[in-house]
Structure 1
């Protein structure tokens, strides 16, 4: 059996952990540069707060409803994420826990007897809450796709499910699939879902019935076959396919203020590459393709804000990599191709795609394997230092020291768990 452990409204839960008076009250967390809403507590959702609402347009609604807003505190969220993952690993062998994102992990429960599943899942949920203070939802089923469905249904009715759902019989699996529209299946996007619905399949249960040969013809070949197998309880998504489902890793941020000169933009993009490369290494993956984009400053028109579309350049890398030193140079090259003198820019970003496991990278015949091993060891050391000391103690010179592009964080809370001088006072 497979489980997916998903932290509930993770960023909001991290902020509430050190402000318990906000438990049961509406809370939102803002994106980089206090741009838009990226995390909402259940209470904020009930009040009609939408994801991705621009903060400056949402302020009246937030104030009217007594909703507390926070700037993103990524140091705090990263540290609490690590604690959640380590708590799970305290109950099971480390290889049984696959970190999928900052707030999600797959857990292999194949060695847990079926009659003990509910007990183990409940203990895991309670231990995470007790040790870290972060509430989680857990879905359990024979495959990762089915576990994702179980998790979603558990979160749909938290009061009834207590944020847990174990699909340990064929009857329970079918009942869950009948309640799942095709666009709610893990890895099925809106366009893919529309295509499936046009073919006459509206629920995951409908889709489960199709023959594999039909799926190979109509649902994208091997990808469609894997999906049908997963819905029928046959494990078909390994790390390679999981990375393909995830599709990309990115770091995109608004500048602290609009920029017109290329040098501070280069520093910002170099830092974004560093952050995104860290994400790649945390999930043991490497990228074959890189996209760099910029967004020109938009004009405000009263209370209507319409951002400009991103302008991007793409590069296919000669060898898939997650080494920051191998990614910064091509990223800056793409930025130089995008930059136009005299234009004012408000945002930039880096996206890594075509992800592969980092232990199965096909090397270039002209790239010494020894050099690759040294680079990987160097990245590991840098990541360890930065994680333990925070604030990017070790960074590449290309990311600069002036940081005039640094994002605005007017509502930032302290780094409660990673700074001695910012520890929470208890009275």
Structure 2
């Protein structure tokens, strides 16, 4: 049996943890640079606050109902996520926990007797909340896809389910599938959901589960669709059991705090974003062979009350895959020279690293001397210092010193668990 543990409105839950007066009050969390709403409490959802909607559009509704608003506090969220995952590892064993995202983890519960699954799921939910203060929902079923179905039902009616749903019989599974719209099945997506409804009148997960693997292979993305059908029929797919430990692409993008119209500032921003992307790259022990840079222009639409922009991008294939910041900044800055247009105002830039390979298995060059380890040691030292001292104490000169290219976080709460100077004060 598989289980998925999903934190309820995770970012909002993190903010409430140190502000208990916000319990049962509407709360929202904003994206990078306070642009869009990326997390809503249940109370905010009831008020009609839209997910991923622009903050400026929702502001009148938010102010009318006194909704608490916070900027993203990723230091706090990351630390609390680690605490949740460590709690799960303590409860079921490290080897049985697969971290799927910052607020989700799959558990392998095959070592536990079937008759204990309900009580175990309740124990997991209660222990995580008691040890970390974060409320979670638990879905248990024979496969990962079905556990996602169970978790959706657990979150849909928290009072009735007590945030726990266990699908351990055929009858329970069929009832749950019938209550799940096909578009809410993990792995289907909006495009396929529309196609299934319009062409084959498949509206729920139970109908989809009765389709053949051949049908799914032809109309639902080949092998991936066939695996989905098997999972819906309680047959675990070995490929879906593989742990998701690495990303296929790493990106760092930001809106500028204010419009930029000179190439020097854009180069500083791109160098800063490249440094951050390289840090993420080394964290998963990968190297990149392709680097892409994009910029977004700031253009006003005089016929509407909003601004839109045009995205321009360029990419470069590196001579050899690398994770060294200095070897990534140089081509990134060169790409800015190709993108920049004098007289144009820019509002956003970003860097994407792709063509990722394991850092330990970079293919050598027959016509070049082997690289020494000095670069890797330097990167490890920089990463360690910046992680311990924070605020990018060490950085490359290309990132500049006169302007802070970090995201705007005007409504950020204190980083209670990762900064000595911001520790929670109990009076």
Q: Do both share a fold (TM > 0.5)?
A: yes
TM, length-normalised to structure 2: 0.87
Contact 2:270–2:351 (8 Å) recurs in 1: yes
Contact 1:264–1:404 (8 Å) recurs in 2: no
Q: Which residue of 2 aligns with 1:38?
A: 38
SS in 2 for 1:415: coil
1:27, distance to aligned residue in structure 2 (A): 1.0
Q: Which residue of 2 aligns with 1:185?
A: 185
Q: Which residue of 2 aligns with 1:349?
A: 350
Contact 2:298–2:310 (8 Å) recurs in 1: no
Contact 2:4–2:105 (8 Å) recurs in 1: yes
Q: Which has the larger radius of gyration?
A: 2
Distance across 1 between alignment mates of 2:374 and 2:144 = 35
Contact 2:98–2:243 (8 Å) recurs in 1: no
Contact 1:4–1:147 (8 Å) recurs in 2: yes
Distance across 2 between alignment mates of 1:162 and 1:104 = 18
**Mapping of residues 413-424 of structure 1, within 5 Å:** 413-424=413-424
Distance across 2 between alignment mates of 1:300 and 1:172 = 53
**Mapping of residues 208-357 of structure 1, within 5 Å:** 208-236=209-237, 237-238=239-240, 249-279=250-280, 290-299=291-300, 304-314=305-315, 324=325, 327-352=328-353
Unaligned runs of 5+ residues in structure 2 are: none
1:17 aligns with 2:17: yes
Q: Which residue of 1 aligns with 2:92?
A: 92
Identify if the C-alpha distance between structure 1 residues 202 and 378 changes in structure 2 by more than 3 Å, giving closer, same or farther. farther
1:421, distance to aligned residue in structure 2 (A): 1.2
1:317, distance to aligned residue in structure 2 (A): 6.2
Unaligned runs of 5+ residues in structure 1 are: none
Contact 2:6–2:105 (8 Å) recurs in 1: yes
Q: Which residue of 1 aligns with 2:149?
A: 149
Q: Deviations over 1:357-405 (max 9, x none)?
A: x48x874342899859887776666555544443234444433333343
SS in 2 for 1:210: coil
Distance across 2 between alignment mates of 1:286 and 1:197 = 42
Contact 1:57–1:303 (8 Å) recurs in 2: no
Distance across 1 between alignment mates of 2:172 and 2:249 = 33
Contact 2:209–2:233 (8 Å) recurs in 1: yes
Q: Which residue of 2 aligns with 1:61?
A: 61
Contact 1:390–1:418 (8 Å) recurs in 2: no
Contact 1:264–1:405 (8 Å) recurs in 2: no
Q: Which residue of 2 aligns with 1:4?
A: 4
Q: How many residues align?
A: 424
Q: Deviations over 1:163-212 (max 9, x none)?
A: 22122222222222212222212222222222233341222222212222
